Amino acid sequence: MSELYQPTVGGRASICTWELEFSFRTKEQINKFIGLLMREEVDYNFEFEKVLDDTTTLYYITVSGSWAHCLIRVAELIKEVDYQNE
């Protein structure tokens, strides 16, 4: 059985930190995503911006956090509100 690799420096653990920016095309998608994110046990840091141009509206969100499993969880939440080809 292999041991779990736990890198430390000076007795402190190395932690994955990340920042993810993505956008949705509808207000319903961004509202649903933020609702799901706010129900999580982890308090994620996020910023939201509505961007308008001559032809379209985009809803940008930037989420940041630590730990790889939290990044995976955010990706799972995005998948829940992403476009579904029926």
Asked whether 33 and 24 are in contact (CB, 8 A), the reply is yes
d(C-alpha 82, C-alpha 36), whole Å: 13
At 2 the pLDDT is: 66
Residue type at 39?
A: R
Query: Over the stretch 22-66, which tens digit does the pLDDT of each residue have?
Result: 999 999 999 999 999 999 999 999 999 999 988 999 999 999 998
From the DSSP assignment, how many helices (H) and strands (E) are in the chain? 2, 5
**Between residues 12 and 82, the one the model is more confident about:** 82
Q: Which domains does the chain have, with CATH numbers?
A: 18-81 (3.30.70.2750)
- 68 pLDDT band, cuts 50/70/90, is confident
Tokens at residue 4, please? 């779990």
